[in-house]
Structure 1
Amino acid sequence: MTARITADWLHEPALQAVFDALETDGDTARVVGGAVRNTLLGLPATDIDISTTAEPSAVMEKAAAHGLKAVPTGFDHGTVTLVTRGTPYEVTSLREDVETHGRSATVRFGRSWQHDAERRDFTMNALYCDRHGIVYDPVGGLPDLQARHVRFIGDPRLRIAEDYLRILRFFRFHAQYGAGDLDAAGIAAVTELRDGLAGLSAERIGMEMRKLVSAPRAAETIQAMRDAGIVSRVLATHGGLRPFQDLRALDPLAPEACSPALALAVLSDGGEADLDDMADHLRLSNAERKRMKAARSASDIPRGWGEARPAPVSDTEIRRLLFLAGREAAIDGLLHAWANAGTGPEDPVFLPALERLREAEIPVFPLTGKDLLAAGVPAGPHVGEALARAQAAWIDSDFSLDRDALLAVATGA
């Protein structure tokens, strides 16, 4: 099977300038991995990584000779980042493993494209193309890519022993690119070697899980992970799988359903303490932790959403939710409640409520602390207490009280 790439990114002057620099003195260079894979699948190519027969020191010299900026981002492992016309390209020398350690490997540089391909993870990630777009397939990746079949290169157990993160990558790539059933040999290997996940850092696990839960086939893939005994090893929960599946069914209606923070919040199937446990376990950022909690909190704001048959949401409740939570958290909260209700994408309560949350204006509270100070409220906690009284009255009035009426409530006049 042969293939050729004609995508615009391949002919960009910046990339061709990198080829001009690298392909001197008998060396060759090829784009490898994700850019080739995605382009052949008709998906956007993001990071464009390059492999070359030149060793790192030679890459640095070639870059200098051609006026390119060279940054030794991973020099000892063979990686130099070349920057041309403001665009960075990660360039890695061909490698082969000398010894593996479960999370890393001792490598040596070489000139064999076959050896370089054989040390990669999956066949669909070991596709190369030259500057003219001709695709090279040393390990049979093209048929797998055409079938959307995620398959380890060679013996899956050996590939996993080289880096146990490949267990999660196996599931993540299936969720993102796969079709049909998971590779049988791959499933057998990840199940057998799953205890190796214990040696991985929380940061590496968290990076993979963020990508996995927002992938197109995440719901069925998480189920396969649970069946293989993987979920309990990487998440601080047994997982709210049914609500998670219902959340991902909302993808066509709401891109927010793909948010890793919201997906993990639904998958946690617990309260605030459970969300904290998951955020700690995956080393999530403060912003992600905040969004998870905001979604969980906002899901409880409208009255009736927690019932088996939610009642229609009034305009007052929509305004109240937007004011108390903000638009992002309000939509996240609705999706969280919708997923847990399990009523499906055509639900007559949640669907119109989602549309109204997108369109409605967020009420703006017309009173500030400065207004209260000017009205004679003593500085300090009295201002906050007075504002809280006024805000509660404003919400109860369906946001109709004007500034003067709120001042009267706040000051007790």
Structure 2
Amino acid sequence: MDILTLSIILVIVLFGLLLSGLWVGFSLMAVALVAMELTRPGLAGAVFATKVWGSLNIWDLTALPMFIWMGEILFRSRLSSDLFRGLAPFTRRLPGGLLHANILGCALFAAVSGSSAATTATVGRMSLPELKARGYDPQLAIGTLAGAGTFGFLIPPSIILIVYGAATEQSIARLFLAGVLPGLMLAALFAGYVMIWALMNRDRMPAPAPAPSWAERWDAIRALGPTVALIVAVIGSIYAGLASPTEAAVIGVVGALLISGLSGGLDMASAKDSITGAAITTCMIAFILAGASFLTVAMGYTSIPRQLAAWIGDQGYSQFALLAALLVFFIVLGFFLDGISIVVLTTSVILPMVMAAGIDPIWFGVFLVLVVEMSQITPPVGFNLFVLQSITGRGIFQIARMALPFFLILVLATAILSIFPEIALWLPNTMLNR
């Protein structure tokens, strides 16, 4: 069977299974099984057993369930509501007012949860009713939340950066450091857009709020204190070289439990729910990783990745042309797959040609996460859109239209990162090469 025919068959099988509603992990396993039977019949069982075990028996992945659990604890505790209350006095006098609390709240919560969906749900449940009551434009309020909710993928401790690091055998500590400045840049771009929109649409903004008193500011600082302390404990321990990402994840869970327990925001029922939620999410990711690992080996037997890489190499693309082609490729995949599936499904094929083009794999991890963030706000499989649909009751495509400006800002951010790669590489090169 020629390569083109085999590729068409595998693509049809993959999207047929996904459209049927079969879980992504099992769909990847089924495609791998078809590929193995068409190219190396009889080997599928042994390869499946070996690769599934090997894909999950990775020390770096032990950080994954702990960071997920930390996010689940914060999601169910009073700490998340204190976050919005603490940011409000410092943002309401800016052009755009409390809309900036959406952006900053997502950035801060992303730094202690690592999950895009958890960030969107937590901040959205706090901020959207408050913004609606104060007369803010609902389209921009929902759009800022959809866009800023994607920070959970980029700002460390990012679950998807852990997955990328495990799949590509890259340093997770370096990836975490590489995500800091691009995350801050993206937050600044979002805030800049909100300011410009507010200045150009003064008639659609509520009346300016009075300046906060010093008592309000002090209360806000006290409300933000636990969240900032947890961020410093988790991220600071990694950057200072005091803890590995796995050890920092344990610090985060212990800190979240202590803070939630002392504040009275976590009861026994919520604690059990947090463990259940973390277990469900971890198992989902584990199935995807196992299926993608099996598919990676199966694709190696088909020689499709090798021939695809050779074909792209023969085109003589420059680095920028290659990145532009990959940008379009990942955006299209984002219409049909979630972010983690995109990363684990494509890295084995894409990374060799990326490295052959002289592109740093740490930098490419940040680039990939930025592009994957776009998949969170593109229908029909954008997870952030599903979360906001459940919160607002609006349609998926209606929310996607509200998020469109922030999708375009994400495209702009990838362009800036491509032109100035040191935005991602300066921090890990400075702090870890000393």
TM-score normalised to the size of structure 1?
Answer: 0.21
Pick the structure with more strand per residue: 1
TM-score normalised to the size of structure 2?
Answer: 0.20
RCO (CA 8 Å, sep 6+): is it higher in 1 or 2? 2
Computing the radius of gyration from Cα coordinates, the structure with the larger value is 1
